[in-house]
């Protein structure tokens, strides 16, 4: 196991122990916001490309921006999206890569219509209304645990936009099952009642049942109305002759979309508020931008417009800096489809490739004082899309379809927050990380309405 077979030269690195490889070291938690010690130590020892073995799978780790970029660009040619088997098992019958294909082949109109500029434009009033109502609720509570509270908001927003499910009992029920699913996702796979894994599988089963019920209800409703959400597009596609999209695949896709948006955007928002709490000058500048938007309006109470949203220059810099430092997706997996020669090494066919975005985002050669939170560093740089040095939303063909949706939700939420409220942190706000996951330790704040004088 120490010297795996290879028709060329493997990168340096250790394959650890038989079977477990270096799995235990990989999962050791760290509270630093720097590159996780598992990766950092090995980068120092072996350089930015090294081999290891995790849960029985040989892996090439890439902390090199050229190789990361190459991996993203070669999607479907030399590499393919891949997730560990346990992940795919609980996430759905379909493997995630084929869901991607379905989404782009059969539901491309849905992707464009919901997440393209036209769809986003239409969303602003709903997002603003839901964010304002949520903040008002928070302000009458003694304290708010932000991760949980923003997760609930994001879930409601996504469910509203994707399946027109209004916040209320149905949405709460859906979310409870979804949360049971998420909580057991990274657990020992022992399927007996009482275990987190069992609850996870039950949670997924119940969520799928509820989604199916909602889809059936939609089917029974009067046909011919305008397409407004995900289910409308699915029904239209299902009725087309020769389609190979099935109801089961559509429900898996729906589930994957809820999953992809839920943890990510809520974590980004939690970290955003934490960064604002820690950096009063950034908060001041952000507030100025949003108060100027209100100041320039004829009627202060009219809702946010697309033009106003597009004018939030500093807010977009702030969001980019937040996702750079928060490293919400700390690793991205692919699998090599054949032997690949790159940078003087061979990546053997079948090996996993683990791209490490934090190694790029925290590289001092690319970002001055990389651990310092400084939104103004984006003044000069490209703020949209991905680059060799910015891959918070991935890159290449699989660039996040929800990136603009997430940014819109964040910007509108921040607009309501900084123009109407002030807050004080009560406790928590630190993050415990493994190379693949992060858990905020519970960030509690007290939210208060801001008077005009403030
Ligand atoms: C701050 C929030 C978010 C972050 C940091 C984020 C990050 C990412 C990253 C890094 C990828 C690439 C994964 C890969 O290459 O394997 C990705 C893909 C994806 N994201 Fe997001 N995401 C966010 C929000 C969302 C939202 C709100 C949605 C949907 C409503 C979404 C839907 C997706 C989907 C469907 C993919 C897969 C695309 C594909 O395989 O082609 N994401 N995201």
Average pLDDT over residues 265-278: 95
Mutate to test the pocket of ligand 1, among 107, 114, 400, 408 (most ligand atoms within 8 A of CB): 400
Cβ of residue 162 lying under 6 Å from some atom of ligand 1: no
Which atom in ligand 1 lies closest to the alpha carbon of residue 391? Answer: 10
pLDDT at 92: 57
Q: Are 342 and 378 in contact (CB under 8 A)?
A: no
Q: Which pLDDT score, from 0 to 100, does residue 5 have?
A: 86
State if residue 328 touches ligand 1 by the CB under 6 angstroms criterion.
yes
Q: Give residue-wise pLDDT tens across range 276-321.
A: 999 999 999 999 999 999 999 988 788 999 999 999 999 999 999 9
Q: Is a pLDDT exceeding 90 seen at residue 138?
A: yes
Q: Which two tokens stand for residue 27?
A: 């999962």
CA-399 nearest atom, ligand 1: 12
Q: Show the CA angle centred on residue 306, arms to residues 402 and 327, nearest 5°.
A: 30
Residue 278 CA, ligand 1 centroid: distance in Å:
27
Q: What is the DSSP letter of 212?
A: H
Beta bridge partners of 433: 30, 438
What's residue 87's pLDDT? 62
pLDDT at 221 over 90: no
Residue nearest to atom 6 of ligand 1 (CA): 393
Give pLDDT, residue 319. 97
Whether 261 lines ligand 1, by a CB cut-off of 6 Å, is yes
- Neighbouring C-alpha atoms within 13 Å toward the C-beta of 101: 11
Tell how far the Cα of 327 is from the centroid of ligand 1, in angstroms: 13
User: Is the Cβ atom of 405 under 6 angstroms away from ligand 1?
Assistant: yes
* CA dist., res. 230 & res. 163, Å (int): 6
Rounded to two decimals, what is the model's pTM?
Answer: 0.92
Looking at ligand 1, which residue's alpha carbon is closest to its atom 20?
400
Residue ranges and CATH numbers for the domains of the chain are: 23-355+365-449 (1.10.630.10)
DSSP string, 48-111: SEEEEEETTEEEEEE--HHHHHHHHHTBTTTEEE---HHHHHHH-SS-HHHHHHHHHHHSHHHH
pLDDT tens figures, 355-375: 999 999 999 999 999 999 999
- Expressed in angstroms and rounded, the spacing between residue 19 Cα and the centre of ligand 1 is 31
Q: Is 160 in the pocket of ligand 1 (CB under 6 A)?
A: no
Measured in whole angstroms, how far is the alpha carbon of residue 287 from the centre of its chain?
Answer: 26
Quick one: pLDDT at residue 223? Answer: 63
pLDDT at 273 over 90: yes
> What is the whole-number distance in angstroms between the Cα of residue 120 and the centre of ligand 1?
16
Ligand 1 atom closest to 357 (CA): 10
Q: What is the 157 CA–ligand 1 centroid distance (Å)?
A: 16
pLDDT band at 381 (very low <50, low <70, confident <90, very high): confident
Please give the share of the chain, as a percent, with pLDDT higher than 90: 50
70 pLDDT band, cuts 50/70/90, is very high
ipTM of the complex: 0.99
179 pLDDT band, cuts 50/70/90, is confident
> How far from each other are the two terminal CA atoms of the chain, in whole angstroms?
65
Asked if residue 312 lies in contact with residue 294, where contact means CB atoms within 8 angstroms, the answer is no
396 lines ligand 1 (CB under 6 A): no
Distance of alpha carbon 30 from the chain centroid: 21
CA distances from 396 to 79, 245, 441 (A): 12, 25, 33
Helix/strand/coil for 343: coil
The pLDDT of residue 268: 95
Q: Report the alpha-carbon distance of residue 370 to residue 126 in Å, rounded.
A: 36
Q: How far apart are CA 88 and CA 273, in angstroms?
A: 33
Q: Answer whether 320 contacts ligand 1 (Cβ < 6 A).
A: no
């Amino acid at each position: 196991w120490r010297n795996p077979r290879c028709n060329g030269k493997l990168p340096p690195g250790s394959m650890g122990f038989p079977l477990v490889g270096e799995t235990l070291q990989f999962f050791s938690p760290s509270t630093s916001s720097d590159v996780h010690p598992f990766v950092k130590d090995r980068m120092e020892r072996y350089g930015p490309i090294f081999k290891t073995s995790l849960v029985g799978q040989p892996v090439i780790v890439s902390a090199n921006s050229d190789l990361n970029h190459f991996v993203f660009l070669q999607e479907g040619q030399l590499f393919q999206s891949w997730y560990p088997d346990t992940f795919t098992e609980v996430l759905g019958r379909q493997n995630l890569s084929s869901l991607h294909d379905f989404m782009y082949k059969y539901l491309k109109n849905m992707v464009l219509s919901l997440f393209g500029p036209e769809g986003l434009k239409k969303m602003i009033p709903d997002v603003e209304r839901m964010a304002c109502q949520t903040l008002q609720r928070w302000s009458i509570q003694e304290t708010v645990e932000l991760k949980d509270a923003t997760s609930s908001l994001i879930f409601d927003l996504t469910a509203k936009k994707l399946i027109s499910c209004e916040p209320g009992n149905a949405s709460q029920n859906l979310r409870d099952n979804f949360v049971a699913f998420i909580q057991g996702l990274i657990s020992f796979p022992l399927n007996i009642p009482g275990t987190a894994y069992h609850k996870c599988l039950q949670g997924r089963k119940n969520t799928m049942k509820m989604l199916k019920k909602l889809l059936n209800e939609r089917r029974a409703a009067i046909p011919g109305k305008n397409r407004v959400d995900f289910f409308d597009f699915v029904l239209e596609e299902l009725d087309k002759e020769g389609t190979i999209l099935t109801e089961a695949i559509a429900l898996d896709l729906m589930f994957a979309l809820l999953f992809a948006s839920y943890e990510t955007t809520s974590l980004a928002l939690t970290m955003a508020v934490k960064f604002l709490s820690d950096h009063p000058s950034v908060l001041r500048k952000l507030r100025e931008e949003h108060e100027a938007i209100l100041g320039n309006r004829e009627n202060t109470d009219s809702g946010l417009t697309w033009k106003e949203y597009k004018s939030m220059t500093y807010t977009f810099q702030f969001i980019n800096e937040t996702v750079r430092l928060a490293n919400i997706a700390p690793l991205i997996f692919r699998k090599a489809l054949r032997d690949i020669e790159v940078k003087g090494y061979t990546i053997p066919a079948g090996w996993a490739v683990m791209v490490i975005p934090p190694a790029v985002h925290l590289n001092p050669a690319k970002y001055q004082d990389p651990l310092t939170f400084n939104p103004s560093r984006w003044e000069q740089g490209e703020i949209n899309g991905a680059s060799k040095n910015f891959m918070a939303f991935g890159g290449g063909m699989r660039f996040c379809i929800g990136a603009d949706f997430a940014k819109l939700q964040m910007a509108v939420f921040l607009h309501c927050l900084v123009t109407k409220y002030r807050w004080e942190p009560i406790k928590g706000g630190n993050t415990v990380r493994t190379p693949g996951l992060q858990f905020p330790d519970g960030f509690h704040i007290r939210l208060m309405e801001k008077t005009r004088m403030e």
